[in-house]
Chains A and B, each alone.
Chain A
Amino acid sequence: MELLLIILIGLLYGAGVYLILRRSMVKLLLGIMLLGSGANILIFLLGGITKGKPPVIDEKAKLFQDIFADPIPQALILTAIVISFALTAFAIVLLKRVYALVNSDDLDDLNTNEEEDI
Chain B
Amino acid sequence: MLLAVLSGLLFSIAMVFFGKGLKAKWSPLLLVLPPVLFTFFASFIPFISSGNIQLQHINWVPSLGINFDFKLDGLSLLFTLMITGIGTAIFIYARKYLKGHPYFDRFFGYLFLFMSAMLGVVLSNNILLLFIFWELTSISSFFLIGFNNDNADSRKSALTALSITGLGGFFLLASLILIGNIAGTYTISELINSRDLLLKDPLYPLIIGLLFIGAFTKSAQFPFHFWLPGAMKAPTPVSAYLHSATMVKAGIYLLARFSPILGGTDYWNYTLIIVGGITMLYASIHSLFRTDLKGILAYSTISALGILTFLIGLGTKEAMIAVSVFILAHALYKATLFLVTGIIDHETHTRDITVLSGLRKVLPPVALAGILAALSSAGFPLVTLGFIGKDLIYEATLTFSNPTLIWTLTGLAIVTNIGLVAAGFMAGITPFVGKLPQQFEKIHIPYKGLWIPPLVLALLGIILGIFPAVVGELITNQTANTIFGANTNSHLAVWHGWTLVLFLSLGTLAVGSLLYILNKPSMAKLAAIERFNVISPKTIIMGLGSKIMQFSSWYTDRMHNGYLRSYHLKIILFAEAVLAYKLWVSGPIYIDFWSLTYPDLYEVAIVFVLIGALFLILTTPSRLTAVVSMSVIGYCICLIFVIYSAPDLAMTQFTIDTLSTVLFVLVLYKLPGFVNLTNKKVLFRDALVAISFGIIIALTAFKIWAEPINKDISNFYGENAYILAKGKNVVNVILVDFRGIDTMFETVVLSIAAIGVYSMIRLRLKSSEKE
Chain A residues within CB distance 8 Å of chain B: 1-15, 17-24, 26-28, 30, 33-34, 37-38, 40-42, 44-59, 62-64, 68-72, 74-75, 77-79, 81-90, 92-97, 99-103, 105-108, 111, 113, 115, 117-118
**Chain A residues whose CB sits within 8 angstroms of the CB of B687 once the complex forms:** 18
**Chain A residues whose CB sits within 8 angstroms of the CB of B664 once the complex forms:** 92
Binds A, one of B334-342, B429-437, B463-471, B756-764: B756-764
**Chain A residues whose CB sits within 8 angstroms of the CB of B637 once the complex forms:** 37, 40-41
> In the complex the two chains form, is A22's CB within 8 Å of B678's CB?
yes
Q: Which of B565, B568, B607 has the most CB of A within 10 A?
A: B565
Question: Is B24's CB within 8 Å of the partner chain A?
Answer: no
Question: Is B4's CB within 8 Å of the partner chain A?
Answer: no
Question: Is B742's CB within 8 Å of the partner chain A?
Answer: yes
For chain B residues 523-582, which have a beta carbon within 8 Å of chain A?
557-558, 561-566, 568-569, 572
> In the complex the two chains form, is B771's CB within 8 Å of A101's CB?
yes
> In the complex the two chains form, is B721's CB within 8 Å of A81's CB?
no
**A-B residue pairs, 4 tightest by C-beta:** A14-B694, A10-B698, A86-B753, A18-B690
> In the complex the two chains form, is B770's CB within 8 Å of A41's CB?
no
What are the interface flags for B705-723 relative to A under an 8 Å C-beta threshold, 1 for contact and 0 otherwise? 1000101011001110111
> In the complex the two chains form, is B604's CB within 8 Å of A4's CB?
yes
> In the complex the two chains form, is A18's CB within 8 Å of B734's CB?
no
Report how far A90 CA is from B739 CA in the complex, Å: 26
Report how far A70 CA is from B617 CA in the complex, Å: 32
**Chain A residues whose CB sits within 8 angstroms of the CB of B598 once the complex forms:** 1
Least CB distance, B453 to chain A, in whole angstroms: 54
Report how far A57 CA is from B718 CA in the complex, Å: 8
Known contacts A17-B689, A71-B731; A93/B652 CB under 8 A: no
Interface residue tally for chain B (C-beta within 8 Å): 102
> In the complex the two chains form, is A75's CB within 8 Å of B735's CB?
yes
> In the complex the two chains form, is A23's CB within 8 Å of B565's CB?
yes
> In the complex the two chains form, is A52's CB within 8 Å of B645's CB?
yes
Q: Which of B596, B663, B697, B770 has the most CB of A within 10 A?
A: B697
Question: Is B749's CB within 8 Å of the partner chain A?
Answer: yes
**Chain B residues whose CB sits within 8 angstroms of the CB of A48 once the complex forms:** 709
Known contacts A6-B702, A26-B623, A107-B564; A13/B693 CB under 8 A: yes
Least CB distance, B606 to chain A, in whole angstroms: 9
> In the complex the two chains form, is A111's CB within 8 Å of B667's CB?
no
Report how far A6 CA is from B723 CA in the complex, Å: 36
Q: Determine which of B566, B697, B735 lies in contact with A10 in the assembled complex, contact meaning CB atoms within 8 Å.
A: B697
Known contacts A57-B730, A107-B565; A17/B643 CB under 8 A: no
> In the complex the two chains form, is A86's CB within 8 Å of B749's CB?
yes
**Chain A residues whose CB sits within 8 angstroms of the CB of B607 once the complex forms:** 4-5, 8
> In the complex the two chains form, is A4's CB within 8 Å of B599's CB?
yes
> In the complex the two chains form, is B760's CB within 8 Å of A9's CB?
no
> In the complex the two chains form, is B749's CB within 8 Å of A9's CB?
no
Least CB distance, B59 to chain A, in whole angstroms: 46
Binds A, one of B224-232, B438-446, B626-634: B626-634
Report how far A44 CA is from B653 CA in the complex, Å: 13
Question: Is B413's CB within 8 Å of the partner chain A?
Answer: no
**Chain A residues whose CB sits within 8 angstroms of the CB of B562 once the complex forms:** 111, 113, 115
> In the complex the two chains form, is B603's CB within 8 Å of A74's CB?
no
With CB as the reference atom, state the residue of chain A lying closest to B637.
Answer: A37
> In the complex the two chains form, is B714's CB within 8 Å of A81's CB?
no
With CB as the reference atom, state the residue of chain A lying closest to B728.
Answer: A57
Q: Determine which of A46, A84, A89 lies in contact with B709 in the assembled complex, contact meaning CB atoms within 8 Å.
A: A46
> In the complex the two chains form, is B765's CB within 8 Å of A101's CB?
yes
> In the complex the two chains form, is B634's CB within 8 Å of A37's CB?
yes
Least CB distance, A18 to chain B, in whole angstroms: 4
Report how far A90 CA is from B664 CA in the complex, Å: 11
> In the complex the two chains form, is A78's CB within 8 Å of B649's CB?
yes
> In the complex the two chains form, is B572's CB within 8 Å of A17's CB?
yes
A13-B694, A41-B640 given; 13 more Cβ-contact pairs under 8 Å: A12-B694, A21-B568, A34-B617, A37-B633, A42-B701, A46-B704, A46-B709, A55-B645, A62-B723, A64-B719, A68-B645, A79-B742, A97-B760
Least CB distance, B707 to chain A, in whole angstroms: 9
Q: Which of B557, B660, B765 has the most CB of A within 10 A?
A: B660
Known contacts A22-B678, A54-B647; A93/B667 CB under 8 A: yes
Report how far A11 CA is from B701 CA in the complex, Å: 12
Least CB distance, B496 to chain A, in whole angstroms: 73
Report how far A22 CA is from B712 CA in the complex, Å: 43
Q: Which of B566, B607, B637, B771 has the most CB of A within 10 A?
A: B637
> In the complex the two chains form, is A9's CB within 8 Å of B626's CB?
no
With CB as the reference atom, state the residue of chain A lying closest to B568.
Answer: A20
With CB as the reference atom, state the residue of chain B lying closest to A67.
Answer: B718
Least CB distance, B280 to chain A, in whole angstroms: 51
Known contacts A42-B701, A63-B719, A74-B649; A118/B714 CB under 8 A: no
Binds A, one of B242-250, B302-310, B668-676: B668-676
**Chain A residues whose CB sits within 8 angstroms of the CB of B702 once the complex forms:** 6
With CB as the reference atom, state the residue of chain A lying closest to B557.
Answer: A115
**Chain A residues whose CB sits within 8 angstroms of the CB of B714 once the complex forms:** 47, 70-72
Pull 7 A–B residue pairs with CB atoms less than 8 Å apart, ordered by A.
A44-B641, A71-B717, A74-B648, A85-B659, A92-B660, A93-B757, A111-B563
Report how far A77 CA is from B650 CA in the complex, Å: 11
Question: Is B746's CB within 8 Å of the partner chain A?
Answer: yes
Question: Is B402's CB within 8 Å of the partner chain A?
Answer: no
Report how far A55 CA is from B646 CA in the complex, Å: 8
> In the complex the two chains form, is A34's CB within 8 Å of B633's CB?
yes
**Chain B residues whose CB sits within 8 angstroms of the CB of A108 once the complex forms:** 563
> In the complex the two chains form, is B690's CB within 8 Å of A4's CB?
no
> In the complex the two chains form, is A83's CB within 8 Å of B749's CB?
yes
> In the complex the two chains form, is B565's CB within 8 Å of A20's CB?
yes
Question: Is B196's CB within 8 Å of the partner chain A?
Answer: no
With CB as the reference atom, state the residue of chain B lying closest to A22.
Answer: B565
With CB as the reference atom, state the residue of chain A lying closest to B702.
Answer: A6
**Chain B residues whose CB sits within 8 angstroms of the CB of A38 once the complex forms:** 697
**Chain B residues whose CB sits within 8 angstroms of the CB of A51 once the complex forms:** 597, 643-645
Q: Which of A68, A86, A102 has the most CB of B within 10 A?
A: A86
Report how far A75 CA is from B718 CA in the complex, Å: 13
Q: Determine which of A10, A87, A92, A106 lies in contact with B668 in the assembled complex, contact meaning CB atoms within 8 Å.
A: A92
Report how far A64 CA is from B689 CA in the complex, Å: 46
Q: Determine which of A11, A49, A58, A86 lies in contact with B750 in the assembled complex, contact meaning CB atoms within 8 Å.
A: A86
